[in-house]
Amino acid sequence: MSTFKIQNGKFVYNDVPVRIISGSIHYCRVVPEYWRDRLEKLKNCGFNTVETYVAWNLHEPEEGKFNFEGIADIERFIKVAQELGLFVIVRPSPYICGEWEFGGLPAWLLKDKNMRLRCFYKPFLDCIDRYYDELMKRLVPLLCTNDGPIIGMQIENEYGSYGNDKKYLEYLRQGLIKRGVDVLLFTSDGPGDLMLQGGTITDVYKTVNFGSRVEESFNKLREYEKEGPLMCMEYWNGWFDHWGEKHHTRGGEEAAKVFEEMLKKDGSVNFYMFHGGTNFGFFNGANHSDIYQPTVTSYDYDCLLTEDGELTPKYHAVKDVIKKYHAFNEVSLSEKIKKVNYGEVILTEKVSIFDTLDSISKPIKSSYVKTMEECGQNYGFILYSTKVAGPRLDCKIDLSDMHDRAQVFVNKKYIGTVYRNDESKKIDVDFTEEINTLDILVENMGRINYGPKLKDFKGISENVRLDYQFHYDWDIYPIPLDKIENIRFDKNRKSSSKGIPMFYKGEFYAEEVGDTFALLDGFEKGVIFVNGFNIGRYWEIGPQKTLYVPAPIIKKGKNEVLIFELHKTDKEEMSFLDKPNLG
C-alpha cells in the first residue's frame, strides 16, 4: 500500500515530498497500440505523471450497455503508465469538456427533453450511479492505496464555469468515497472568484486552469486553497482548432518560459495537452459563444507531441526547463514509427445515399419530426422525408429548429444548404409536380461541450414549416454510419453525383504498414473510413487539410477506403501522404 497526500503544504508520496509534473494524454484519442509510445515520450521528457479524462459516452454508448475494450480499455492504459513508473491522475467527472462530443456526456441522456444536466437532479444522478458502479470497480484496484499508480481523482470539471450546486458536487464526492476511492480528491476551475466560489467545496483540494499570468492565477488560487500546494491542473500550452478558423500555434520558448514561472513559484503542473491525439469518428465537440463552432478532427493542440507522436521544439524546450529543476533518468523509446506515402487511390465504386438508403436505415414513421435523440441515435446523419402537394411555387422552407447543417432535396434534386450559423434558416423551393418528395439530410457536427448551451439536441427538434404552415407526416431515417458494410454498391448503376450525397469506395495495396495522412483534394465535406474505421470528418474550409491514419488501422496487402461525400468531388480519387497538413 502506498500513500499520496498533502502534508505541510506539499505533495507527499510514501513520506517523500514530490512535485507533480504531469501531461495530459487521453487514451480515447490514441489507438491502443500507441499508448506505450506516447507514455514513453512523456517519461523521457522528465514528466512523472500522466493525466487523462474519462469519457462517459465512450464507455456507455447505449444506456446500460458498457464498453471497456479496445480504445476504451482504460485499465490497460493505466497499467502501461504504471509499468513505466508514472503516477496517474484520473478525471472521471460525468462531464469532462475536453472539446469532446457533449463534454463526454452520453447523447442518450437527451431522450428525456426534461433532463437536467450537472446538478442535483435524481434522474441524472441515477445514470451517474449506474456508470460509476461499472467504472470505479475497474479503477479502485489501480489506486495507489492498492499499490496502483492512481494518486488523484477529480470530482467535477470546471464546474464553477457552469453552476454552483454544492449539493451536486458533494453527491459526486460521496459517490467516489463509498465506492472505495480513497486517494486525493480535487476540483479544477478557472482562476476567478465566480469560478472558484461555484466549483469548489469545503475540505476538497482545489486547483486552477490557465495558460498565462502565473502569479495572478496562483495568487487567486491561494485565496481559496489556503494550505495545499499550488497546482495548475490544466496548463494550456497550445490550443485546439475550429472548422473555418486558423490553425492555432504557440511558440515553444514562450510556453516553456511560462512553465518555468510555475516551477519558480514551487507549483505543480499538468500540461494540457502533452499529446492531443485525434477526434476519431464523430467524437469531436463544439463550442458556442456568439456562433456554433465545431472542433476539427485533429486534436493536435500544438503541444509537445504532434498528433502523430513526433517530438516538437516545444518538447525539447520544456525538457530543458525540467532538467534545471529535477534530475531524471531518460528511457529508451520504442522503434520510430514509419510514415508512408501510399499515393493515389482510385475510387472505383459509388452510390448515392438515396439508392442505398433502404440498406443502411429503416424508416421511423411519425406525424411530426423527431430529434436524433428521440430516435435513439447518437451521432452521424438523419434524413427526413415527406410528400408535398403541388404545384406550389416560391415556397419558403423554414428550418429554424435544425441542428447543425441541412441539405434540402426536392424530387431527389439538390436545392441548397442551411447551416446553424446562417442568419436566415429559410430556403426557397419550387414544388412543380402534383406530388413532390421533400428530403432533408441533417448532419450532427458535434454536440456543444462547454457553456450554457450544453443541452444540444440534434436533427430537427420542433418542426418544419412550409411558408406559414407546419408540415406533418414524415419518414425519418437515422443514418449513424455504424453499419457501413450494408452500403449497396452496384457497378452497373449510373449514380448521379451532382449535388447528391455519395458513397465512394476504393482499394489500395500496402507493401509496408506505417502512419499515413489522407488528402481529399477536390472533395468538399464528409467522412472517411479506412478498413471500416471511422477516421473522422473533412471539410474544405479547413484549416485541417489532411486526416491522420495510424498504422494499426492499415493492413499489409489490400486495404479499403470508403468516403461519404455530402456535395461533390472534382475527381473520384484521393491520396495518402507521408506528411500532415493542419493548415
**Catalytically active residues, by annotation:** 158, 234
The helix (run of H) or strand (run of E) holding residue 396 is: strand 392-398
Whether the CA torsion 404, 408, 412, 414 is positive or negative: it is negative
Contacts of 268 (CB under 8 A, 6+ apart): 11, 19, 20, 21, 22, 229, 230, 231, 232, 262
Cell of 508: 489500395
Q: Is 342 exposed, middle or buried (0-12, 13-18, 19+ CB in 10 A)?
A: buried
Are 86 and 36 in contact, with CB atoms under 8 Å apart?
Answer: no
Beta bridge pairs of residue 28: none
487 backbone dihedrals φ, ψ, rounded to 5°: -60, 130
DSSP one-letter code for 149: S
Cell of 306: 504532434
Nearest to 33 by CA among 83, 76, 84, 82: 76
DSSP one-letter code for 115: P
Q: Is 164 exposed, middle or buried (0-12, 13-18, 19+ CB in 10 A)?
A: middle
Contacts of 246 (CB under 8 A, 6+ apart): 543, 583
Are 553 and 342 in contact, with CB atoms under 8 Å apart?
Answer: no
Residue 193: strand, helix, or coil: helix
Q: Which amino acid is at 402?
A: M
15 backbone dihedrals φ, ψ, rounded to 5°: 70, 10
Are 151 and 184 in contact, with CB atoms under 8 Å apart?
Answer: yes
Contacts of 286 (CB under 8 A, 6+ apart): 242, 292, 293, 294, 295, 404, 445, 446, 447, 448, 449, 456
Q: How far apart are CA 367 and CA 474, in angstroms?
A: 6
